[in-house]
Chain A
Amino acid sequence: MTLEIFRYRPESDSEPTFQTYEVPFKEEWVVLDAINHIKDEIDGTLSYRWSCRMGVCGSCGMMINGVPKLSCAAFLRDYYPGKIRVEPLNGFPVLRDLVFEMDDFMAKLTDMQPYIIRKEGEEKTLEDGEYLQTPAELAHFKQYSMCINCMLCYAACPIYAIDNAFIGPAAIALGQRYNLDSRDQGKDSRQELLGSKEGVWECTFVGECSRVCPKDVDPAAAIQRAKVTSTIEFFKDVLIPWGKKK
């Protein structure tokens, strides 16, 4: 079976090229198995990221025939006898071959303050015990907490590819995950970023992020819900300015 793989070696290449490899076709192989075979048996210079092989770690995302997928979950048999073209995830600068720079994504996750924030004076001490939550309260955000940071949604998003300033699907879904958490009180401090131009309003709801998500997080829905919240907050501020922040 033929694999065309994106190659870019910064020390010698000014432009990327595609290199063709022939790998044995095996019914049970995924694209990652084929790439591991190339690395071990054919060409040791090929660089790529991977770890768990079971759709949990989120490391092996690649463009497979133009669609962002976890290469550990993309079976060769779904493409055979056709060719498979493998590229690094769209929208990110390429460091080498299939390895791309994820600093921008990591910074955006951090900016979203993805942790439980309590108002001053309302934090529990260790002796006070944990913040309790009912299964129903958990259900409100659980879906958004399933994200594995694989960045497939960023690669699917044309807005992010065109303008990297966009905070992007996974980071916004993560912001929603904490905003909808009954234990959290940090909604206001996330709102500035979420409601900014680079936040939810950059999104034009292409919806592709949700289609490619391997964990059914549905970031597109998270963003649209955040838009509604943002709008309501805006009107509250305008119409009842005295009712602001306790």
Chain B
Amino acid sequence: MSAYRRPVSNMWWLKRRSYIWFMIRELTSIFTAGYCIFLLVVFYKLSQGPEAYAGIIAALKSPVSVVLHIITFAFVFYHAITWFELTPKILVIYRGEERIPAGLIAATFYGGWVVVSLFIVWLVLLA
């Protein structure tokens, strides 16, 4: 008796919404890595002296750069959320006999995220 193996379409990820969100999450890694490289370039320019640095800061103000930043922010934001959703599943901590609730772990991470973000905003805009 021959068993029938169903072919898997290359478009399998379009078949369910959760698969599409998964693919978007995979795609976020490109933006995250891209932005890391961009930051290294900024540091490199900084090491080249004030003029080189002023040049790249001026380039950052162009509309193309602003749009790219908004797109990158959206992807990195989603990337961060998927990590914080995953963390409480992996971080299984017991205090004595009781498991620390997943919600508390998630809330701690989200809280930490907000605090760090506010600190950076303060550092960049106010300090």
* Size of B's binding interface in residues, CB under 8 A: 23
Establish whether residues B18 and A93, one from each chain, have CB atoms under 8 Å apart when the complex forms: no
Identity of the chain A residue whose Cβ is nearest the Cβ of B22 in the assembled complex: A206
Stretch of B44-52, B64-72, B88-96, B115-123 with 4 or more beta carbons under 8 angstroms from chain A: B88-96
**Looking across the interface, which residue of chain B has its beta carbon closest to that of A229?**
B90
A94 touches B89 (CB 8 A): no
- CB interface residues, A 133-162, toward B, < 8 Å: 134-136, 139-140, 158, 161-162
Residue B99 at the chain A interface, CB threshold 8 Å: yes
Residues A158 and B4 in contact in the complex (CB < 8 Å), given A207-B22, A224-B90 = no
Selecting from B8-16, B31-39, B53-61, B106-114, the interface stretch reads B8-16
Q: How far is the CA of A208 from the CA of B20 in the complex (A)?
A: 11
Give the distance in Å from the alpha carbon of A179 to the alpha carbon of B96 in the complex: 20
Contact yes or no, B6 A158, CB < 8 A: no
Q: How far is the CA of A206 from the CA of B22 in the complex (A)?
A: 6
A190-239 contacts to B (CB < 8 Å): 204-208, 211, 218, 220-221, 224-225, 228
Pick from A93, A136, A139, A206: contact of B3, CB below 8 A.
A93
Query: Can you list 6 pairs linking A and B with CB atoms under 8 Å apart?
Result: A136-B97, A158-B12, A158-B19, A161-B12, A224-B89, A224-B90
